[in-house]
A and B are shown apart, each in its own frame.
Chain A
Amino acid sequence: MAHGPAKGLTRWLYTTNHKDIGSMYLWFSFAMFLLGGVFALVIRAELFEPGLQIVEPEFFNQMTTMHGLVMVFGAVMPAFVGLANWMIPMMVGAPDMALPRMNNWSFWILPFAFSMLASTLFMEGGAPNFGWTFYAPLSTTYAPPSVTFFIFAVHIMGASSIMGSINIIATILNMRAPGMTLMKMPLFVWTWLITAYLLIAVMPVLAGVVTMMLMDIHFGTSFFDAAGGGDPVLFQHVFWFFGHPEVYIMILPAFGVVSQIIPTFARKPLFGYASMVYATSSIAFLSFIVWAHHMFTVGIPVAGELFFMYATMLIAVPTGVKVFNWVTTMFKGSMTFETPMLFSIAFVILFSIGGFSGLMLAIAPADFQYHDTYFVVAHFHYVLVPGAIFSIIAATYYWLPKWCGRMYNETMGKVHFWLAFIGLNITFFPMHFVGLAGMPRRIPDYNIQFADFNMIASVGAFLFGAAQILFLWNVIATIRSGKPATAEVWENPEGLEWTVDSPAPYHTFSVPPEVK
């Protein structure tokens, strides 16, 4: 089976190889990360000082909207699908994904979706300007004409995610090597299995809600138009029924990544493997019954308010279990602090801080003060940036030597880590303060009492952005001229992926390995 990749552009266009597709997902995700980052920097530049300096409010709203959409659907989700593509077949001892042609299709529709979304910036009336949560009727009756392109872009992204998920589930359930029972699977595989089910459950809900918008805009229905007997609050219920599980879709695979990395560098097996699996499943279940905590101020009756408050607080329990397990895994280990470990430790600490502010937000009466302020912005950036993004970066450093057969530059990796770590804390920590002091989110200009912290946050944002250039540099330099890596790469890491050569051959596990 000495059969390598095809040559030239068609290799990438026609490929059904999980490694090629994984790489394309990851590069695509990084491109979107930079694009979304540029949008974020426009926002931070405008907010550097009070007053309107750089952009008009109309364009500012387009930036907040596009930043959110591109980061959530373009950067974080495809990155995790890319990691799944690369790692799941190698982790379960399968030769490839179960449905390789669909795999090609689910990647290749993404560039079209995002080209369509990005093209709205150049349309008359501008890009979507109603926030990434696109609440009706601002996103229907009052939307710019480009909203239709936004709707179709979301449809395509959803189709891509659903196909990706089906593929992942089919691979995990059918293609494990003999002897690899479910409870022997690496935790990254477990978290992705659960995530894939979440995706299949909620992406159709998202497709439903944007289709209802399409109907309202073009075909005279009134799902969300009060004047026609519709209900603007219905939009929020449907959106958040998708939106809350979506949050966990972006964080569960991250849990999986750090659960792979911490044991390797603590040189000690993961503590509480079974409880990790149960905790992940509980979080996934709870994610379906907490959606209205995003809507504490819409005027739901007190009984509903209490239910959603209690259910939301309950999420702290399984999440806490995970954090305690990671800490105990480190305890009495023999730790070293290579770049992937640094990012993973920062993940545990900063994600916990995001979890704390999440717990505060769960208290419904207190949420009346927090809701729609910068405190919320601080909260979800703390769970998404050092949460999702840091875990993706950690995974890249951890598995890059396996992917390309070369070792990255450790010093540069550590510099990248510290710049990113400092930059993100300077950016997002002050947002807690301005939020508590009363600054609403999504405003292009603010009272002078918020000026100092906004200036600090803007400086941090540019530092964080600059640090990512170093990351790109390091990755490219590794691929081109890094030192050769061994098959194991790290010291006795656990998992089937370390039993194959570095770089991993184009086809791995054509003969299934034996798992004891």
Chain B
Amino acid sequence: MLKRAQRLFAWLLGPAVLMMSHQSLADEVEHWGVNMTQGVTQMSQEIYGLHMNIFWWCVGIGVVVFGIMFYTMIVHRKANGAKASNFHESTKLEIIWTVAPFLILIIMAVPATKTLVKIYDTSEADLDILITGYQWKWKYDYIAEDVAFFSSLSTPADQIYNRAPKGPNYLLEVDEPLVIPTKKKVRFLITANDVIHAWWVPDFAVKKDAIPGFVNESWTYVEEPGIYRGQCAELCGKDHGFMPIVVKAVPEAEYLEWISAKQADAVALKALTEKTFTFDELYTKGEEVYAKNCAACHMANGEGVPGVFPGLKGSAVALGPINTHNDVVVNGVPGTAMQAFGGQLSEVDVAAVVTYERNAWGNNMGDHVQPIDVLKLKQGK
């Protein structure tokens, strides 16, 4: 903090030095991040162009209007012996300053309209990805490839609570990024499972609300491989600031390889459903699953947030019949923030987390669930 304060101080005194070289000024602008990103797609660059265009119009108008204002404030002051005139009307002037701004607006509206129409053209995509916002993570569904996974914040709590130094991608890093191929038109179908979220990646200039019951469309075409980061842009509850977006753009060959690997993983995971696990295996695995999926609301200590999210420590569900507990996790509780995790977690994960919740924090029920039981519940048996 002291270091930052020193830098601020240097910055406040620094402008004179900076002005000496244009290059260092540009560097400084870059370093401080004072402007919109130009991004990496044609659309993001067009939007940046629109932004700069209207910005300079505003600067121009501002210079003229404020210039006249400051001139009059300096010259026409009583202390300088200025005598007040009495003019107070001019239809000609009123017409001029109604029509002139109108013409400027038309000049600005034309390119904006063209860009907007292009942004709305979501046709002829090479690839469709369904993006679903959840409190507080994103689900990416490669519709044609039968691959789906969740992507959630991977910044450790120690960094957030200032017990460990913060990394450069603090709060902008996830466990599993969205992977897309370069030089392909990728269409995003955006929706939400609970409340409204917004999927935003500044480098693509894609920001679209994820609304339950609606499927919004957007698209991008990325030329260069790279890692691009964004955040949820619509207030969605407690952890709104903690559900980033990371997109990894890779060449097509690499993308295809990745997709096959994901498909193989899914098959392997399915096979595990048949396996019988020991209590310890389930409990250990359950602790991980809990930390990633449940702790945001029910908290790591199982005590929840009073009045908002119920605790699990000593709760009726965790100490009640095991089938009810399974059912709550798999199907959720309609009309509350408790989501249906049946579609989000594998059978193994559900079995593990239920086992964990029934035995952690002194709940000590001593019982456990096998993945096959969860599968039966999901199939309605």
In the complex with contacts A51-B161, A327-B69, A433-B47 CB distance below 8 A: no
CB–CB A50/B166 < 8 A: yes
Give chain B nearest CB distance to A42 CB in angstroms.
Answer: 16
Q: Does A409 contact B (CB under 8 A)?
A: no
Chain A, 110-148, CB within 8 A of any chain B CB: 123-126, 129-131, 135, 137-138, 141-142, 144-145
Cβ-neighbour of B235 out of A131, A227, A297, A329 (below 8 A): A131
In the complex with contacts A321-B97, A445-B160, A455-B8, A268-B77 CB distance below 8 A: no
CB–CB B84/A334 < 8 A: yes
Q: Which of the candidate stretches A53-61, A98-106, A176-184, A399-407 sits at the interface with the other chain?
A: A53-61
Bound-complex Cα distance A129 to B240 (A): 12
Contact with B along A380-418 (1 / 0, CB 8 A): 000000000000000000000000000000000000000
Cβ-neighbour of A268 out of B66, B84, B116, B337 (below 8 A): B84
CB–CB B78/A61 < 8 A: no
Residue of A nearest to B39 (CB): A369
Chain B positions within 8 Å of A357 at CB level: 58
* Total of A-B residue pairs, C-beta within 8 Å: 311
From A52, A309, A443, residue with most partner B Cβ within 10 Å: A443
Q: Which of the candidate stretches A150-158, A299-307, A480-488, A501-509 sits at the interface with the other chain?
A: A299-307
CB–CB B194/A334 < 8 A: no
CB–CB A141/B238 < 8 A: no
Bound-complex Cα distance A334 to B82 (A): 5
Q: Which of the candidate stretches B13-21, B105-113, B139-147, B313-321 sits at the interface with the other chain?
A: B105-113
Chain A, 419-437, CB within 8 A of any chain B CB: 432-434, 436-437
CB–CB A365/B109 < 8 A: no
Chain A positions within 8 Å of B7 at CB level: 452
Chain B positions within 8 Å of A335 at CB level: 72-73, 76-78, 82
Chain A positions within 8 Å of B231 at CB level: 438, 440, 443
Q: Which of the candidate stretches B88-96, B123-131, B249-257 sits at the interface with the other chain?
A: B88-96
Bound-complex Cα distance A434 to B89 (A): 43
Chain A positions within 8 Å of B89 at CB level: 271-274
Chain B positions within 8 Å of A314 at CB level: 105
CB–CB B72/A445 < 8 A: no
Q: Does B206 contact A (CB under 8 A)?
A: yes
Bound-complex Cα distance A151 to B161 (A): 35
Q: Which of the candidate stretches A14-22, A76-84, A88-96, A347-355 sits at the interface with the other chain?
A: A347-355
Residue of B nearest to A65 (CB): B235
Q: Does A510 contact B (CB under 8 A)?
A: no
Residue of B nearest to A318 (CB): B98
Give chain A nearest CB distance to B297 CB in angstroms.
Answer: 10
Bound-complex Cα distance A357 to B57 (A): 11
Chain B positions within 8 Å of A339 at CB level: none
CB–CB A269/B116 < 8 A: no
CB–CB B97/A333 < 8 A: no
Contact with B along A355-374 (1 / 0, CB 8 A): 01101100111101101110
Chain A positions within 8 Å of B4 at CB level: 451-452, 455
CB–CB A232/B85 < 8 A: no
CB–CB B170/A267 < 8 A: no
Q: Does A200 contact B (CB under 8 A)?
A: no
Chain A positions within 8 Å of B230 at CB level: 438
CB–CB B109/A310 < 8 A: yes
Bound-complex Cα distance A329 to B76 (A): 11
Bound-complex Cα distance A299 to B77 (A): 52
Q: Does B289 contact A (CB under 8 A)?
A: no
Q: Does B226 contact A (CB under 8 A)?
A: no
User: Number of residues in A with C-beta < 8 Å to the partner?
Assistant: 105
Chain A, 172-231, CB within 8 A of any chain B CB: 226-227, 230-231
Bound-complex Cα distance A441 to B212 (A): 21
In the complex with contacts A61-B237, A363-B112, A270-B88 CB distance below 8 A: yes
CB–CB B162/A51 < 8 A: yes
In the complex with contacts A299-B209, A451-B4, A142-B55 CB distance below 8 A: no
Chain A positions within 8 Å of B150 at CB level: none
Chain A positions within 8 Å of B216 at CB level: 298-299
CB–CB A360/B73 < 8 A: no
In the complex with contacts A125-B308, A138-B236, A57-B94 CB distance below 8 A: no
Cβ-neighbour of B86 out of A144, A269, A275, A455 (below 8 A): A269
Bound-complex Cα distance A450 to B343 (A): 36
Chain B, 166-212, CB within 8 A of any chain A CB: 166, 168-172, 194-196, 198, 200, 202, 205-209, 211-212
Q: Does A444 contact B (CB under 8 A)?
A: yes
Q: Does A448 contact B (CB under 8 A)?
A: yes
Q: Does A38 contact B (CB under 8 A)?
A: no
CB–CB A331/B235 < 8 A: no
Residue of A nearest to B73 (CB): A335
Cβ-neighbour of B116 out of A53, A364, A446 (below 8 A): A364
Q: Does B1 contact A (CB under 8 A)?
A: yes
Q: Does A466 contact B (CB under 8 A)?
A: no
Bound-complex Cα distance A466 to B79 (A): 32
Q: Does A266 contact B (CB under 8 A)?
A: yes
In the complex with contacts A142-B194, A272-B94, A332-B85, A298-B209 CB distance below 8 A: yes
Residue of A nearest to B215 (CB): A299
CB–CB A227/B36 < 8 A: no
In the complex with contacts A302-B116, A433-B33, A233-B214 CB distance below 8 A: yes
CB–CB A126/B171 < 8 A: no
CB–CB B196/A272 < 8 A: no
Bound-complex Cα distance A268 to B82 (A): 12
Bound-complex Cα distance A302 to B115 (A): 11
Q: Does B24 contact A (CB under 8 A)?
A: no
Bound-complex Cα distance A337 to B74 (A): 11
Q: Does A469 contact B (CB under 8 A)?
A: no
Chain A positions within 8 Å of B236 at CB level: 138
Bound-complex Cα distance A453 to B11 (A): 12
The list of the 4 closest CB pairs from A to B, nearest first, reads A226-B213, A125-B307, A443-B241, A124-B307
Can you list 9 pairs linking A and B with CB atoms under 8 Å apart?
A: A51-B166, A58-B305, A135-B195, A336-B77, A353-B62, A369-B51, A438-B33, A447-B169, A448-B168
Query: Which residues of A are at the interface with B, using a C-beta cutoff of 8 A?
Result: 49-53, 57-58, 61, 123-126, 129-131, 135, 137-138, 141-142, 144-145, 226-227, 230-233, 266-275, 297-299, 302, 305-306, 309-310, 313-314, 316-317, 320-321, 323-324, 327-337, 345, 348-349, 352-353, 356-357, 359-360, 363-366, 368-369, 371-373, 432-434, 436-438, 440-453, 455-456
